[in-house]
Amino acid sequence: MRNFRRTGNHDLLFVGDSPAVKEIIRLINLVAGSDCSVLIEGESGTGKELVARSIHARSSRSSKPFIPINCAGISETLFESQFFGHVRGAFTGAEQSMVGLVRSAEGGVLFMDEVGEIPIHLQAKLLRMLQDGEVLPVGTVAPVPVDTRFIAAANRDLRAAVRNKEFREDLYYRLNVVRIYLPPLREHPEDVEPLLEEFIGRCAEQYGKPPVHISAEVCSQLAHYSWPGNVRELMSWVERLFVTGLEPGMLADSLLTEAERDGQNALMNGVVSLKEAERRAISNALKAADSNRSQAAQFLGINRATLHRKLAQYQIA
């Protein structure tokens, strides 16, 4: 692995040589030494919890708890109780006191995944806790100070959610002291090969089998696949190699055939695949820019090098 390696029981660090991964590493190292709030954004499977654990592992809080919570899985009625705790008898069914998630992470980190899914009428309570550094357990009148660092993550653009009045602007800026964006794997395919090497090593150790060799041709095939499930999907693909015993080339062909079939089915239903949508967007941008590639890249919101790579990938002249 080229950049990051595992420590203890958790996969702590990133793998890859691309500028995107190097920037993520730079930001992790930058914020690890402080207690500032961090907002991590990226598609599902890009490694948001991995980044949060990496920050925690490099901080002075590393010996204290790291508590992950999926905010989308907390019911509205139990939000305050689960986050801030409650005392016995505070409500029907509260047969014993509970400290809540925030105080469970005392001295450490509370990682709030899918923070954008917290209902907007509850976001004010979260904001007050972040601003005051204290919680008010349900059933009490005296706030309790807390020493917890907060790292949030979202798989959608929270700035757009703010514009759409789906997320509080003040809470967004309170969480977004430092923002770390994790690009989808399709935007840095040069990292597919080092990721393969790392995952093969992990699976060989886990299953007690020799490492699997993947040819340059198969690596190239995999680098051109869109990986809608991102790094998590790639990890599952490597594990499938060890579980099934299939040849890498056969499994790669099966993966790509399945993707093509899904794209065809989507087209039959009046929906284009992500790959086809991207190809069309590039073609339209080139037309709008009168074949000026620098201008087309600006229209698309990507750099010229990325555009050149995609032109080759989609064989657009």
Q: What integer pLDDT is reported at residue 172 of this predicted model?
A: 97
| CATH 3.40.50.300 assigned to 19-183 | yes
**Residues 309-314: contacts with CB within 8 Å, 24+ apart?**
309/189, 310/278, 310/282, 311/282, 313/224, 314/278, 314/279, 314/282
All structural domains of the chain with their residue ranges = 19-183, 187-313
DSSP 3-state assignment of 219?
A: helix
CATH class of 187-313: mainly alpha
Measured between alpha carbons, how far is 62 from 132 in angstroms, rounded to an integer?
Answer: 24
What's the pLDDT tens digit per position in 42-51? 999 999 999 9
Same fold yes or no, 19-183 and 187-313: no
Q: Residue 215: what pLDDT?
A: 93
Residue 11's φ and ψ, nearest 5 degrees, are -80, 105
From CA 153, how far away is CA 37, in angstroms rounded?
11
Residue type, 70: N
CA separation (Å) from 38 to 28, 35, 172, 208, 242? 10, 9, 11, 38, 36
| Average pLDDT for runs of 10 along the chain of length 317 | 40 74 94 95 94 95 96 84 76 72 94 94 92 85 90 94 94 96 94 94 93 93 90 93 88 72 49 66 74 77 77 78
- CA diameter of the chain: 71
Given this model, what pLDDT does residue 259 score?
Answer: 59
Q: What is the DSSP string of 133-148?
A: TEE--BT-SS-EE---
154-163: per-residue pLDDT in tens? 998 999 999 9
Contacts of 143 by beta carbon, 8 Å cutoff, 6+ apart: 132, 134, 135, 136
Residues 6+ apart with CB under 8 A from 310: 278, 282, 302, 316
